Amino acid sequence: AAQRQKIEGRVVVSFVINRDGSLTDIKVTKSANPLLDREALRVAKMMPNWKPGINNNKPCRTLFAVPIDFKL
């Protein structure tokens, strides 16, 4: 629908990377358009596990933000 309406923009999605690499608390921190926000969340929820942050040589929970650009 966003493609048909020629909507472009940047959506910033933030999430927490847990000690095991799984992602939680996925949310939009900078919105561009509700259609783009929904797609960015859908894609973020499909991402595989990440490498967790390291603090004192031990894995720790890490907050991370990713910008997603939508261009036609």
Condensed to tens digits (0 to 9), the pLDDT of residues 26-58 reads 999 999 899 999 999 999 999 999 999 999 999
What single DSSP character describes residue 21? S
* Residue 1 counted as domain residue: no
How many residues comprise the chain?
72
- Is 29 inside any structural domain? yes
pTM for the predicted model, two decimal places: 0.85
Share of the chain above pLDDT 70, in %: 100
State the Cα–Cα distance between residues 69 and 72, nearest whole angstrom: 10
In a domain, 43, yes or no: yes
Domain of residue 28: give its range. 9-70
- Structural domain contains residue 4: no
* Angle at the Cα of 65 from the Cα atoms of 38 and 26, rounded to 5 degrees: 45
In a domain, 54, yes or no: yes
How many domains would you assign to the chain?
A: 1
Query: Which 3 state secondary structure label does DSSP give 34?
Result: helix
